[in-house]
C-alpha cells in the first residue's frame, strides 16, 4: 500500500459539462435503469461500440492495479475488447490520458478525485462528493456507480483496547484520548489534530510520526491508536479495530470508475457498475491481503473474485 503522502499527492491528491442527466449514478451512486451514457453513446477513435477497444489504466500502486484488473476481466467476460495499461503513474498523468482518449477507464477514489479537481462537497458523504464531482468534471468525462468499498483514513486500535475500553467509534474516545498516544504518517498531526478537536472534541496525550509502521506500533503498544487505511491488510492480519466515524471526519473515498464518455458504451458501463455493486471495503481488504501479504498475482486474485461474485 502507498503511504498517505503518496496516495494523496497524485493518487489521493495532496492522495481528491453537467453529467447529472447521464444517469451514471454521480449523485446517487446507482443506475437509473436507463442508458447510463445518456442514450445512444457516440463512438470515437478510442471508441465505444461493437468491435472497439476499451483501454483500462491504473496508477502505480498495488490496489489500483488490482482494481484495474478486476475492471478489465469483468469487461472481457462480457465480450468487450480490452487493452490493459497498468502501473502508469500518478493521477496527474492518468487524468490527462483519460481526457485525451488514450485511456478509457480508471479506477478512482471519489473524494481524492474531487480534491484533485479543486471541487468541494457540501458534506463529506458519498452522495455529496459525487454530486460535487458531477458539477466539477469536464463534459468529456464521467463517473459510473461508486462502490461501497473505500480506501480511506481510519483511526484504528488493537482488539484488546477495543474490548478493555469498550470503544466502537471515534466518539467513544472522548473519555480516554488524554491517556492515549496517537500515531500516523508525519503529516497526519498537521492535517488532523485540529479537526479531531473541532469535530470530536479529542485531545491526545502525544502524537508520534509512525508512518508505515503505524499498524505494528498499535499492535505492540508503542501507540494506542493510529491512522491506518481501511483496506490495509494489516488490519486483519494484526486484528486491529477501525473505529466508526459517525461524523464523517475523513470523508468519502469510494472506489469509482472514471470514464471517457465518448469511448465507452452502455453495456461496458453496465459491466463496470455490476463490479461496483459487489465490491465492499472488507472484500477489497481481503483481496489486498492476497496481493500484498500472500504475494498472489493480482490478475489471478481478480479472476477468482469475479468468478465468486458471478461476474467472470
pTM over 0.85: no
Question: How do beta strands 181-184 and 225-229 pair?
Answer: parallel
- The share of the chain scoring above pLDDT 90, in percent, equals 71
Pinpoint the residues of the chain covered by CATH 3.40.190.10.
Answer: 4-150+251-308
For residues 225 and 154, the answer to whether their CB atoms sit within 8 Å is no
Instruction: Find the helix or strand (DSSP H, E) in which 154 lies.
Output: strand 153-158
Cell 477497444 locates to: 53
Q: What are phi and psi for residue 227, nearest 5 degrees?
A: -90, 105
Q: Tens digit of pLDDT for each residue in 147-163?
A: 999 999 999 999 999 99
Query: What residues contact 308, with CB distance under 8 A and at least 6 apart?
Result: none
- Could you say which DSSP state residue 11 is in? I
Pinpoint the residues of the chain covered by CATH 3.40.190.120.
Answer: 153-242
Give per-residue burial for 184-204: e unless 16+ CB within 10 Å, then b: bbebbbebbeeebeebbebeb
Q: Tens digit of pLDDT for each residue in 39-76?
A: 333 333 333 444 589 999 999 989 999 999 999 999 99
Q: How far is the C-alpha of 187 from the C-alpha of 110, rounded, in Å?
A: 21
**Mean pLDDT for the chain overall:** 85
Query: What number of other Cβ atoms are within 10 A of residue 205's Cβ?
Result: 12
Cell 477495543 locates to: 162
Three-class SS of 47-105: CCCCCCEEEEEEECCHHHHHHHHHHHHHHHHCCCEEEEEEEEECHHHHHHHHHCCCCCE
Q: Which residue has the higher pLDDT, 279 or 24?
A: 279
For residues 58 and 106, the answer to whether their CB atoms sit within 8 Å is yes
In 3-state terms, what secondary structure has residue 141? strand
Task: Tell me which CATH code domain 153-242 carries.
Answer: 3.40.190.120
Task: Tell me which CATH code domain 4-150+251-308 carries.
Answer: 3.40.190.10
Query: What residues contact 291, with CB distance under 8 A and at least 6 apart?
Result: 62, 63, 66, 298, 301
Cell 505494528 locates to: 216
pLDDT at 297 over 80: yes
Q: Tens digit of pLDDT for each residue in 28-39?
A: 333 322 233 433
* Orientation angle between helical segments 298-308 and 62-77, nearest 10 degrees: 50
Whole-Å CA distances, 151 to 1, 196, 199, 232, 279: 10, 20, 21, 8, 12
In 3-state terms, what secondary structure has residue 33? coil
Amino acid at each position: 500500500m502507498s503511504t498517505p503522502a503518496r496516495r494523496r499527492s497524485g493518487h489521493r491528491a495532496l492522495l481528491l459539462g453537467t453529467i447529472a442527466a447521464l444517469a451514471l449514478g454521480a449523485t446517487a451512486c446507482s443506475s437509473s435503469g436507463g442508458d447510463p451514457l445518456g442514450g445512444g453513446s457516440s463512438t470515437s477513435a478510442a471508441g465505444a461500440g461493437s468491435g472497439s477497444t476499451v483501454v483500462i489504466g491504473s496508477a502505480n500502486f498495488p490496489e489500483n492495479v488490482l482494481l484495474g484488473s478486476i475492471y478489465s476481466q469483468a469487461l472481457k467476460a462480457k465480450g468487450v475488447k480490452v487493452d490493459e495499461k497498468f502501473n502508469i503513474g500518478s493521477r496527474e498523468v492518468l487524468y490527462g490520458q483519460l481526457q485525451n482518449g488514450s485511456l478509457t477507464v480508471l479506477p478512482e477514489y471519489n473524494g481524492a478525485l474531487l480534491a484533485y479537481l479543486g471541487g468541494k462537497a457540501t458534506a463529506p458523504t458519498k452522495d455529496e462528493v459525487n454530486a460535487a464531482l458531477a458539477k466539477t468534471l469536464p463534459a468529456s468525462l464521467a463517473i459510473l456507480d461508486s462502490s461501497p468499498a473505500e480506501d480511506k483514513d481510519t483511526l484504528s486500535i488493537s482488539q484488546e483496547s477495543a474490548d478493555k475500553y469498550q470503544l466502537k467509534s471515534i466518539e467513544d474516545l472522548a473519555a480516554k484520548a488524554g491517556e492515549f498516544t496517537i500515531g500516523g504518517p508525519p503529516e497526519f498531526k498537521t492535517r488532523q489534530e485540529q479537526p479531531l478537536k473541532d469535530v470530536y472534541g479529542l485531545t491526545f496525550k502525544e502524537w508520534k510520526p509512525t508512518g508505515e509502521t503505524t499498524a505494528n506500533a498499535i499492535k505492540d503498544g508503542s501507540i494506542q491508536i493510529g491512522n491506518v487505511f481501511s483496506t490495509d491488510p494489516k488490519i486483519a492480519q494484526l486484528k486491529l479495530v477501525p473505529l466508526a466515524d459517525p461524523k464523517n471526519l475523513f470523508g468519502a473515498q469510494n472506489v469509482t470508475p472514471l470514464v471517457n464518455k465518448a469511448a465507452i458504451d452502455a453495456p461496458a458501463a453496465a459491466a463496470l457498475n455490476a463490479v461496483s455493486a459487489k465490491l465492499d471495503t472488507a472484500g477489497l481488504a481481503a483481496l489486498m491481503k492476497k496481493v500484498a501479504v500472500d504475494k498472489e498475482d493480482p490478475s489471478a486474485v481478480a479472476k477468482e473474485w469475479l468468478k465468486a461474485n458471478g461476474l467472470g
